Structure 1
Amino acid sequence: ITFPYTQTHVDMPDEEKDKRGIDEYLIRLSVGIEDYNDIEADIIQALENSKVGVIS
């Protein structure tokens, strides 16, 4: 999982990011060849667990 706005495209001017639809809310999720249902279940589980809070 990456956040292009602040990671991979951080050096790109904001105007160019806007043209390409890259905003601070964009999340890039790169997955392998796992079954779609497994990926979906993992994402749902992660989102549910994120509601609990951040442990540092």
Structure 2
Amino acid sequence: MLLRGDHVIRDAEGNEHETRRPVSAVCMCGGSAIKPWCDGTHKAIEKRRGQRTSR
């Protein structure tokens, strides 16, 4: 999920992460190694499942 502007994101452990970047990518698939941020792992997961990506 892409967020635009300033946000505070709470991870699964309840820790808050502040971002002031113009655009931030948050992990929604649960596979990222840098949660709560997206590292692109969803692309590999989709390919393993045989799905096409539209991203």
Would the TM-score normalized by the shorter structure come out above 0.5? Answer: no
Q: Would you tell me which structure has more helix in proportion to its own residues? A: 1
Q: Would you tell me which structure has more strand in proportion to its own residues? A: 2
Q: Which has the higher contact order (CA 8 A, sep 6+)?
A: 1
